[in-house]
Amino acid sequence: MASTAPIHLFKRFSSTATTTTITTKLTPSKSHLHAPIPPNLFPSGYLLTGLHIGVKKSTPSPQKPDLAIILSTSPNPTSAAACFTRNAFRAAPVTVSEDVLVQTGGRARAVVVNSGCANAVTGKKGLDDAWSMVKATDALLPPPSKATPPYTHKPTGETLVMSTGVIGQPLPIDLILAGIASQSPSLPTRTFNTDFFAWERAAKAFMTTDTFPKLRARQFIINGREYKIAGIDKGAGMIHPNMRAAATNFPSTSARQLHATLLGCVMTDAPVSPRSLQSALTYAVDRSFNSISVDGDMSTNDTIIALANGAGSPVQARIQEIDEEADQETYLEFRNALTEFMQELAKLVVRDGEGATKFVTVTVKGAPSYKDAHAIASRISTSALVKTALYGEDANWGRILAATGSVPLSSPSSGPPITSQPTVSIDPTRVSVTFIPADGSPSFPVLMNGEPENVDEVRAKHILQLEDIELEVDLGLGKEQATYWTCDFSYEYVRINGDYRS
């Protein structure tokens, strides 16, 4: 349970100033969410580093990393996929990374990330700077293997770029390029490695207002062969992603689905074709990063990248890549493993929400479509009234209903509306709301089929004092459901964002 501390609010009436003291909960420590990872869980064929080059404001010693570089050194082809923000003011690195994927047909062998400056709303100079980062990182790559299919035309680059930090400021590009160049294979200062500490340094270089580096790794089995997957992400504020698939012309992603800044990079040594990696990533993002919210604000830089380098397979002249059209069953195994792993990464962002004291799971079930369930779960998760009630440990379930009822439902068909089949509406007499305690005690219904329950306020308070809370809303209209992960709103969130640039 979070501890408490007083804060002072100053009120002015005419010429008289008064001080009001209120008690606020301190943000729980997140240190337990980061621990060393055994080296045998990290995927093969990747080199990483994290450097401090001075993009971030000066910090006390030791200086914090603000530049991460990830290289795929596999002799097998490396597939790449991405989902990008839908924000109209999308940042230069988003535009450049999508261009790279289009030019290469979903192949890339490096990722470069800077924190401290978003390179967003920076005009032509911002685009030029992002391309400079691509070219400088490309120079660190080994020559392509003979196993890599040749490009139909030489692409502008093989590096994807991500940036995070303050919007509207130009990159200190000279510092960044010097930092990248310092990792040249010919220099003794090169710090690339494959161990936990290299992955950790890279994860720390992603961070802005994050309180811990977000790094996870695990093994998974497909067709009897063991592969590994690792992921780094960052985010604590300006979190309500709505990302779409990269604009590569793969048939499986041509129909766009639902989809401080959210950044993430997932790396596996499984062999996956570019089109199937993009398809799997789009599906997984919709059920992970597109299903989280801290404050309801979409960033200009939201990006999730996936790399699959096939290093976990025997070296052959041409390896058999997992492909949804060639072997759908194997593809679905990979897609499901990726989705489960990305949900774990996405939850770390919510747990580190700026000023958050609660981790909240919102499940909407009994919906006529997944789209409806997802939209309602999103609305509940972004309601300031719901989130402040959770912070105050007040079981004000009327706010949950108000948020639920504000979302118009779509047609029960996932396709175009059918004129003979009217749009379904929420029926208040079918709706139920339940609090599910994280301590394993019985569920706590507050509304059943539109009728309020006799609420035990003492038990309700006990449930809401837990750090983990689950809210379940059953619409009673269908069989589809969706889950969102969110957090509460606290005084600390206002403090952090009130002086973010100062």
pLDDT digits (tens, 9 = 90+) for 201-253: 999 999 988 999 999 999 999 999 999 999 999 987 677 777 788 877 665 44
CATH number of 359-409+424-499: 3.40.50.300, 3.40.50.2300, 3.40.190.10, 3.10.20.340?
A: 3.10.20.340
Question: Does 502 belong to an annotated binding site?
Answer: yes
User: Is residue 87 scored above 50 in pLDDT?
Assistant: yes
Peptide bond before residue 36 is cis, with ω within 30 degrees of 0: no
If you average pLDDT over every residue of the chain, what do you get? 88
Residues 327-354, mean pLDDT to the nearest whole number = 96
> What residues form DSSP beta bridges with 11?
18
What H or E segment, with its residue span, contains residue 7?
Answer: strand 4-13
Question: Does 56 belong to an annotated binding site?
Answer: no
| pLDDT confidence band for 259 (50 / 70 / 90) | very low
Known catalytic membership, residue 434: no
Q: What angle do CA 93, 254, 420 make, to 5 degrees?
A: 130
Residue with tokens 């989705």: 339
> What residues form DSSP beta bridges with 499?
none
Give me the pLDDT at residue 63, please. Answer: 81
* Predicted confidence (pLDDT) per residue in 64-78, tens digit: 999 999 999 999 999
> What residues form DSSP beta bridges with 429?
none
Bridge-based pairing of strands 303-308 and 263-268 is parallel
| pLDDT confidence band for 418 (50 / 70 / 90) | very low
Question: Does 211 belong to an annotated binding site?
Answer: no
Residues in the chain: 502
Give me the pLDDT at residue 153, please. Answer: 66
Start and end residues for every CATH 3.10.20.340 domain found in the chain: 359-409+424-499
CB atoms within 10 A of CB 340: 14
Assigned token pair, 490: 């606290």
Higher pLDDT, 308 or 411: 308
The strand ranges marked E within 87-206 are 110-117, 159-166
Higher pLDDT, 237 or 101: 101
| pLDDT confidence band for 430 (50 / 70 / 90) | very high
Of the candidates 35, 112, 25, the residue with the CA atom closest to the CA atom of residue 490: 25
Q: Quick one: three-class SS letters along 86-118? A: CCCCCCHHHHHHHHHHHHHCCECCEEEEEEEEC
114: left (phi over 0), alpha (psi -120 to 50) or beta: beta
Query: What are the φ and ψ backbone dihedral angles of 287, each rounded to 5 degrees?
Result: -105, 10
Give me the pLDDT at residue 307, please. Answer: 98
Query: What are the φ and ψ backbone dihedral angles of 268, each rounded to 5 degrees?
Result: -135, 155
Measured CA distances, 287 to 61, 257, 265, 281, 342 (Å)? 39, 11, 16, 10, 9
What is the rounded distance in angstroms from the CA atom of residue 124 to the CA atom of residue 126?
Answer: 5
Pick from 6-20, 306-320, 429-443, 452-466: least confident: 6-20
Q: Edge-to-edge strand order for the sheet containing 480-487?
A: 292-293, 480-487, 359-367, 468-474, 432-437, 444-448, 451-452
What angle, rounded to 10 degrees, do the helices at 123-138 and 92-104 form?
Answer: 50
Give me the pLDDT at residue 261, please. Answer: 65
What is the rounded distance in angstroms from the CA atom of residue 309 to the CA atom of residue 328?
Answer: 20
**CATH number for the domain formed by residue range(s) 39-352:** 3.60.70.12
Of the candidates 322, 389, 350, the residue with the CA atom closest to the CA atom of residue 236: 350
Measured CA distances, 315 to 23, 47, 203 (Å)? 62, 18, 29
Q: What is the pTM of this model?
A: 0.88
The strand ranges marked E within 240-358 are 243-245, 263-268, 292-293, 303-308
Of the candidates 322, 349, 348, 320, the residue with the CA atom closest to the CA atom of residue 335: 322
Query: Is the CA virtual torsion 164, 166, 168, 173 positive or negative?
Result: negative
Measured CA distances, 482 to 333, 358, 363, 407, 473 (Å)? 21, 20, 6, 15, 10
User: Is residue 3 scored above 70 in pLDDT?
Assistant: no
Give me the pLDDT at residue 258, please. Answer: 34
The strand ranges marked E within 353-403 are 359-367
What percent of the chain is predicted at pLDDT more than 70? 85
Question: Does 276 belong to an annotated binding site?
Answer: no
Residues 153-161, mean pLDDT to the nearest whole number = 89
Residue with tokens 């408490």: 4
Name the amino acid, one letter, at 450.
G
User: Is residue 14 scored above 50 in pLDDT?
Assistant: no
Residue of 49, 164, 261, 268 marked catalytic: 261
Pick from 56-60, 87-91, 311-315, 411-415: least confident: 411-415
> What residues form DSSP beta bridges with 80?
307
Start and end residues for every CATH 3.60.70.12 domain found in the chain: 39-352
Give me the pLDDT at residue 412, please. Answer: 55
